[in-house]
Amino acid sequence: MLVSLALITVYFRESSGGALHDAQRIGLSVLRPFEVAGERVSRPFRDAWGWASDLFDAKDENEKLRGQVEALRQELIQSRTAAQENDATSVLNHSRRLLRWRKQQPALVTGGVRAVPLSEPLFAIERATGDDRVLAVFNLEDRPVRVARESLPDCAPLDGHGFTGVLTGRDLSLGPHDAFFARIPH
């Protein structure tokens, strides 16, 4: 330790052309090729270590972000569902109303199906079980459609399903993507 202290003291007091400075320059020039070789040999290992470390950090970050995305998705679903719960005209409430109504119509629940010929964009079916027969007409277009009354079987409109199709003495009027349900007498 004393020798080190003495060399440091002499080194700082000596001029830049002194023996210790010359020895240092010679030592550095001799050791420089070993330093460069060591750098070249160690670089791939250092890079591989850095890559692996970054990879594990990225995987951890990815897992954390996936968890956050899933939490945000659930929050969004809950907020959208809550918004639809409070809106009587929402798709959710319309679907619930239609499903409740459908359960009260035996022909729609357990009845057989028969196609009713109508021109496009209308699609019509008759569902029947025993004496209960129900006509269902769907407008598959995004524009209103009318069909002549005589194109349909004799029927009486059903209500409570939430659709707005209107049957008059002359025709059936359906709004865009609308439906009409009616009971067919036996």
The whole-angstrom separation of Cα 61 and Cα 139 is: 50
Q: Is residue 68 one of the residues assigned to a domain?
A: yes
Domain of 139, CATH number, reads 2.60.40.1180
Q: Is residue 70 domain-shared with residue 127, that is, in the same domain?
A: no
Residue where a domain stops, chosen among 68, 83, 98: 83
Residue where a domain stops, chosen among 52, 83, 114: 83
Please, which pLDDT band fits residue 6 given cuts at 50, 70 and 90? low
pLDDT of residue 39: 83
Cβ atoms of residues 97 and 103 within 8 Å: no
Q: Is residue 64 one of the residues assigned to a domain?
A: yes
For 121-174, the DSSP string reads TEEEEEEEETTEEEEEEEE-SSS-EEEEGGGS-S-EE--SSS---EE-SSEEEE
Q: Is residue 111 domain-shared with residue 79, that is, in the same domain?
A: no
Q: Is residue 6 domain-shared with residue 66, that is, in the same domain?
A: yes
Sign of torsion, CA 56 60 65 67? positive
Q: How far is CA 169 from CA 127, 162, 172, in A?
A: 23, 22, 9
Domain of residue 56: give its range.
2-83
Q: Is residue 93 one of the residues assigned to a domain?
A: no
Higher pLDDT, 124 or 16: 124
Please, which pLDDT band fits residue 17 given cuts at 50, 70 and 90? low
Question: Is the per-residue pLDDT at 53 higher than 60?
Answer: yes
Q: Is residue 53 one of the residues assigned to a domain?
A: yes
Q: Is residue 133 domain-shared with residue 79, that is, in the same domain?
A: no
pLDDT digits (tens, 9 = 90+) for 58-102: 888 999 999 999 999 998 888 888 888 888 888 888 889 999 999
Q: Is residue 55 one of the residues assigned to a domain?
A: yes
Q: Is residue 121 domain-shared with residue 176, that is, in the same domain?
A: yes
Question: Is the per-residue pLDDT at 11 higher than 60?
Answer: no
pLDDT of residue 21: 65
**pLDDT above 90 covers what percent of the chain?**
47
Give the phi and the psi of residue 170 in degrees, each rounded to 5: -105, -35
What is the number of domains present in the chain?
Answer: 2
Residue where a domain stops, chosen among 50, 83, 116: 83
The whole-angstrom separation of Cα 45 and Cα 50 is: 9
Cβ atoms of residues 104 and 133 within 8 Å: no
Cβ atoms of residues 101 and 160 within 8 Å: yes
Q: Is residue 118 one of the residues assigned to a domain?
A: yes
Q: Is residue 127 domain-shared with residue 165, that is, in the same domain?
A: yes
